Amino acid sequence: MRLYRLKRLFVGMPLPTAQARHERLSKTSGLAIFASDNLSSVAYATEEVLRVLLIAGTGALALSVPIAGAIAVVIAIVIYSYRQTILAYPQGASDYIVAKDNMGTLAGLTAGGALLIDYTLTVAVSVSAGIAAITSAFPVLFPVRVLLCIAAIALIAVGNLRGLRESGRLFALPSYLFIGGFGLLLAVGFFRYGVSGAPPATPAEAVAPLGPLTAFLVLRAFASGAVALTGIEAVADGVTAFKPPEVHNARTVLAVLGGIMITLFVGVTALAALYDVVPREEETVVSQLAWAVFAGGPLYYFVQTVSMLILILAANTAFADFPRLAFFMARDGFLPRQFGNRGDRLVFSNGVLILAFVAIALVVIFRGSTHALIPLYAVGVFTSFTLSQSSMVRRWLRLRPAGWWWRATINGVGAVTTATVLVVVAVTKFVDGAWIVVLLLGGLIAMFRAIRGHYGAVARQLSLDGMEPPLPVTSTVLVLVGDMHRGVVHALLYARSLSPSAKAVFVETDPERTRRLEEKWGKWGMGVPLVVLTSPYRSLLGPLLEYIDHLRAQGPNHIVTLVLPEFIPARWWQQLLHNQTALLIKGAMLFRRNVVVTDVPYHLKH
């Protein structure tokens, strides 16, 4: 009862199935939920570009603006392509569904596995970056950053367990505060630069190059900044989460998202170049930029606070989409069916919980370091992007609806663009850790196929097709006795209701205990025969299993029903004071054919 009350406190009261339609999102709340991942990249994508360019010295940082421009073009292409995908798949334009529908099962599993990896990394990376933003402003918190990351993931998971619409209400304000805060940063920053004609902050000292400025280095910087595209597919995945008209609302949110993301990302990168910001280990680029623009003060801490909030809440996009993708894959038999179950608040609770646990494990393993996690990040999302856009090209060429040629052209450009970025990311980040994602993706695909194979085998063996009429069944009912008490009497009554010829079984490990039991049996045994099995080595399971196997040998359709008397203490902790023999026996019988185990509980009052 206490656990139930605690669950209700955190999660809320259960919602009826009929309420599902009213739990959908408006454009305002949908933007807050599905766009937080994209918007959050503004807070660290620029820094990742600068960190790579800094290898060639401070002078190479001037290339950050052209690189940001190129990334902005890729964002625009992908946004426009996904708007076409939403039109084609109004019931959910998940990359997994699109690829599987048009390019086959292997392509669908590859896209699905890549997205599952990406969503998990989104939680770990965004939360780690959010905590880094706040530890930049308050360095005293740096030693406990991992604990702060764990607390943040748990908080977001609880918010999502409360339901989609309620999580939208909880997380909408920070998203819009972030847009306002960074918009103010850009407006004031460019205004001050335009008025003064020079950065107000003292230019940073030149950094000596550690290597030459090569095309490969520029490509590495481009690949690092390409993490800004992560999460674009989230709106397409969640079309059905919007209020009617779903397609129109989803496409509108996607277009608004693209405009905001491009403006903020390119703006921050350009402002960092104008103010000569150089990335430092102990302070983020956004923190340095906000300090230079606002000269400290309340607005600086406001920008850092909203940066932290949006980076942490970027995980909310993954928490919204990971469970839905897992549902799609579970529906097709490629993930455990538990992922398809809706919880009390009409959300896929199992997906939320699994995502939280895996993300926490990543944060602990990588000690909450954004830079250690980033190399793992972009491979998965660009794999799914490429498969989805290529699948749409194949769809238009196959169906050829009105305007198919320009639709195919749009998705074709998107496929070529994302494939190019994928190759760049894979090559430049392979040694840094992208190889882990490649191996993990292969392992996931093998796991998906194994799960599907298992479900197929189960369905074939349970099917009634071709089944011959069953033979008659005979049975033996046994009551396992360890002592004589009220719980055993209760179990004997139940066993006699099943079969008048029920028998009791006692495994003898001490002759004196056997004598005392036989004395009580004459009065309380109710005429049920007592079979005593000797156990010279004091083993309970050995003689019992041997006796049950002997009974099973009477025929292929002979069933042994083993009745287990159990007394249940009034308090949960009192259970720890008693032997868990029943659990041991049930575990041993679980994989034995034609053995049925029945618990007969006797509840104690105190």
Per-residue pLDDT of 527-577, as tens digits, reads 899 999 988 777 888 889 999 999 988 888 899 999 999 888 878 777 777
Tell me: do 125 and 255 sit in the same domain: yes
pLDDT at 446 over 90: yes
Amino acid at 187: A
Q: What CA–CA distances, in Å, run from 348 to 97, 153, 160, 336, 437? A: 18, 17, 9, 13, 25
Average pLDDT value for the chain:
83
**Of the given ranges (408-417, 424-433, 459-468, 585-594), which has the lowest mean pLDDT?**
424-433
Residues 288 and 174 placed together within one structural domain of the fold:
yes
Q: Does 365 share its domain with 506?
A: no
The answer to the question of residue 462 being in a domain is no
Looking up residue 555, the CATH number of its domain turns out to be 3.40.50.620
Q: Are residues 138 and 262 in the same domain?
A: yes
Range with the poorest average pLDDT among 124-133, 242-251, 501-510, 570-579: 570-579
**Domain encompassing residue 295:** 25-344+353-456
What pLDDT shows up at residue 476? 92
Residue 335 in any domain: the answer is yes
Confidence (pLDDT) at 164: 59
Could you tell me the two tokens for 9?
């406190």
- 227, two tokens: 């993490």
Query: Where do the DSSP E strands lie in 148-296?
Result: none
* Mean pLDDT along residues 58-71: 89
Top mean pLDDT of 23-32, 109-118, 466-475 is at 109-118
* Domain final residue, candidates 425, 456, 487: 456
> Would the CA dihedral through 358, 335, 387, 74 be positive or negative?
negative
Whole-number Å distance between alpha carbons of 93 and 598: 47
Give the separation between CA 597 and CA 150, rounded to whole angstroms.
Answer: 41
Model pLDDT, residue 200: 46
With 50 as the cut, is the pLDDT of residue 16 above it?
no
Domain boundary among the residues 389, 421, 456 is at 456
Q: What pLDDT, on a 0 to 100 scale, did the predictor assign at position 597?
A: 92
* Contact yes or no for 277/202 (Cβ under 8 A): no
Whether 2 is in a domain gets the answer no
Same domain? For 133 and 54 the reply is yes
**C-alpha–C-alpha distance, residues 269 and 283, integer Å:** 16
* 374 in Cβ contact with 125 (< 8 Å): yes
Q: pLDDT tens, 333-368?
A: 999 988 877 765 556 788 889 999 999 998 888 877
What is the rounded average pLDDT of the residues 496-520?
Answer: 90
Is the bond into 245 cis (omega within 30 degrees of 0)? yes
Asked if 549 contacts 519 with a C-beta cutoff of 8 angstroms, the reply is no
CATH at 102: 1.20.1740.10
341 φ, ψ to 5°? -90, 130
Do 483 and 449 fall into the same domain?
A: no
Provide the 3-class DSSP secondary structure of residue 606: coil
Return the C-alpha torsion angle 343, 348, 350, 356, nearest 10.
-120
Q: Comparing 102-106, 255-259, 480-484, 567-571, which segment has the lowest mean pLDDT?
A: 567-571
Rounded to 5°, the CA angle 149-154-156 comes to 95
| Tokens (6 digits) for 48 | 């990742």
CB of 318 within 8 A of CB of 326? Answer: no
Is position 461 within any domain? Answer: no
Write down the pLDDT at residue 199: 53
pLDDT at res. 368? 73
* 478 and 545 belong to one structural domain: yes
Number of CB atoms found within 10 A of residue 214's CB: 11
* Segment 165-220, tens digit of pLDDT: 555 566 678 888 889 999 999 999 999 888 876 554 444 555 556 667 888 888 88
Name the 3-class secondary structure at 347.
Answer: coil
Residue positions counted in the chain = 606
Is the same domain home to 246 and 127? Answer: yes
| Residue 52: count of CB within 10 angstroms of its CB | 23
- Domain membership of residue 20 (yes or no) is no
Say how many Å lie between the first and final Cα of the chain, rounded. 16
- Residue 302 in any domain: the answer is yes
Q: What are phi and psi of 533, to 5 degrees?
A: -105, 125
Other CB atoms within a 10 A radius of the CB of residue 542 amount to 14
> Crossing angle for the helix pair 164-196 and 27-40, nearest 10 degrees?
60
Provide the edge-to-edge strand list for the sheet that holds 503-508. 530-534, 503-508, 474-480, 558-568, 595-603
Looking at the structure, do residues 499 and 451 belong to the same domain, yes or no?
no
Task: State how many domains the chain has.
Answer: 2
Task: Report if residue 400 sits inside a domain.
Answer: yes
> Based on the domain organization, do 501 and 364 belong to the same domain?
no
pTM here is 0.75
Listed in sequence order, the residues at least 6 apart from 410 whose beta carbon sits closer than 8 Å to its beta carbon are 80, 81, 84
Do 374 and 483 reside in the same domain of the chain? no
In a domain, 5, yes or no: no
pLDDT at 38: 77
Note the pLDDT tens digit of each residue in 469-484: 878 888 899 999 988 8
Which spans in 60-144 are helix H? 64-88, 95-103, 105-137
Angle (deg, nearest 10), helices 215-225 and 45-53:
160
Q: Are residues 112 and 73 in the same domain?
A: yes
Amino acid at 534: T
The predicted pLDDT at position 316 comes to 78
Q: Is 346 left (phi over 0), alpha (psi -120 to 50) or beta?
A: left
> Residue 481 is inside which H or E element, if any?
none
- Last residue within a domain, chosen from 456, 482, 510: 456
pLDDT (average), residues 133-142:
77
